[in-house]
Each structure stands twice: as structure tokens, then as C-alpha cells.
Structure 1
């Protein structure tokens, strides 16, 4: 199943810079691992925002929830998920 996922990151302004840097590095490593595995199919930055639009290829909504909830930045994200299906006019 494909899912369109929008993630808005909202780190607290008073967060320790070293803690923020560690979270970001851990997030990058995990996202790249999932991209290499083909699970995180697309990752696009939204210009001018600390957010992204992504496409995940997973077996179920439960699997996607497990992945998202294990992201290091998850506690600081607002996430919107939309299930995708093939459009009948797509070639």
C-alpha cells in the first residue's frame, strides 16, 4: 500500500541544541535506511518550512504507524496521512 504522509516538525525553541542535533542525526539515519529498503519511496522538503511530503510503500496502515511512531522526531511532529490507490487514468 502507498501512503502520502505530510510531516511538520515543531521542535521547542528552548530545546538544547545538542539534543536537537542528535535527534536530527538519528532521524536522518533512520530515514535513509528506510529509503534504501524501498519503504520510504519519496522524501520531499516543503520550501520554507521544517516539513516534508513523503510516500511510503508498506503492507498496511499498522506498519506505517509503527514506522512513524518510531521516528526520533515523532514526538515533535504533526502528521497527516492519506492512503493512495492507482488512478484509472494513470499510464
Structure 2
């Protein structure tokens, strides 16, 4: 199943710099693993914001929840999920 996801990150300004660096390193490792597995085929930064839009390809809503809640930055995110369906005008191939 394909999902369009918007993630807005809101890290506390007083977060310890070492904790912040560790959090960001773990986030990068986790998201790149999912990209290599083909589960996160699109990841785009929103210019001028600490936010991204993504398209993920996962088995079901349960896997989606597991992937999102596994993000190290999850406690600091506002997330909007939109399930996607094939458009009838899409050219196949």
C-alpha cells in the first residue's frame, strides 16, 4: 500500500547538542535502511521548513504504524498520513 506522509519536526530548542546529534544520526540510519529495502521510495525536504513529504510502500496500516513509531524523531513530529490509490488516468508501464 502506498501512503503520502508529511512530517513536521519540532525539536526542543534546549535539547542537549550531543543528544540532538545522536537522535539525528539514528534517524538517518533508520530512514536509509527503509529506503534501501524499497519501503521508502520517495523522501523530499520541504524548502524552508524542518519538514518533509514522503511516499512509503508498506504492507498495511499496521506496518505503517510500526515504521512511523520506530522513527527516532517520532516523539518530536507532527505527522499527516494520506493513503493513496491508483488514479484511473495513470498510464501503466
**Structure 2-normalised TM-score?**
0.96
CA distance in 1, matches of 2:51, 2:20: 15
CA distance in 1, matches of 2:90, 2:49: 30
Corresponding position: 1:27 with 2:20: no
Q: 1:76 is matched with which residue?
A: 76
User: Hey, what's the Cα distance between the residues in 2 that align with 1:51 and 1:11?
Assistant: 11
Q: Tell me what 2:15 maps to.
A: 15
Structure 2: 5+ residue stretches without partners: none
SS of 1:90's equivalent in the other structure is: coil
CA distance in 1, matches of 2:31, 2:17: 21
Q: How many residues align?
A: 91
Deviation, structure 1 residue 45: 0.2
Displacement of 1:41 in angstroms is 1.0
Root mean square deviation of aligned Cα: 0.4
Which segments of 5 or more consecutive residues in structure 1 lack a partner in the other structure? none
Could you tell me the TM-score, scaled by structure 1's length? Answer: 0.98
